[in-house]
Amino acid sequence: MRIAHVANFYGPRSGGLRTTMHRLGHGYQQRGHEVLHIVPGAELEREWTESGQRLTIPGRVLAGSGGYRVIVNVARVRRLLEEFAPDALEVSDRFTLSSLGDWARDRGVPSAVFSHETLTGLSETFLRAPLLTNAPVNWWNHRLARRFDHVVATTAFAAREFQRLGVTNL
């Protein structure tokens, strides 16, 4: 089986997201699966690790994030996925990469989006102000859940935003 995992906010200090990707990839590799990780970085780089092939593509530094990069060229990611031809797609990003769920569905590829944090918390961190209402978060989370076959919350805390909406693919 060929498994692709695409992520933003991946870097030397990514903590839980990076650990999740590495452990899953390592487990998949041990079971004989082929793994491709697509992550943002300063420049194009391809390397093979015990958790799979890691393809780093140029990403933009997100202001105020402490140096985290995000992939903004989603068309490039789609081309890379077409070349790899995954049997399953995993995505660790709730913003710029959310359209990859549609890409997977259009090709009959099972997909999962990982929620490593709450959207409310992310908005407070990067917008520097709390949202006045949960309406935008609820709208986005419903939309995100519809785009992927499964939503995987890595903590009970991250799951709450989806549970309160009655998301059935959590």
How many domains does the chain fold into?
1
Q: What is the structure's pLDDT at 116? A: 82
C-alpha 120/C-alpha 138 separation (Å) is 10
Instruction: State which amino acid sits at residue 76.
Output: R
Q: What is the structure's pLDDT at 46? A: 97
Q: What is the structure's pLDDT at 117? A: 81
Q: What is the structure's pLDDT at 79? A: 98
CA angle 25, 31, 37 (to 5 degrees): 20
In a domain, 50, yes or no: yes
Q: What is the structure's pLDDT at 33? A: 98
In a domain, 168, yes or no: no
Residue 90 structural domain: 2-163
CA angle 155, 156, 161 (to 5 degrees): 105
pLDDT in tens, the chain (170 residues): 999 999 998 877 767 889 999 999 999 999 999 999 999 999 999 999 999 999 999 999 987 777 889 999 999 999 999 999 999 999 999 888 999 999 999 999 999 999 988 766 555 555 555 555 677 888 889 999 999 999 999 989 889 889 989 999 99
Q: What is the structure's pLDDT at 94? A: 85
CATH number of the domain to which 60 belongs = 3.40.50.2000
Tokens 């995505």 locate to: 91
In a domain, 100, yes or no: yes
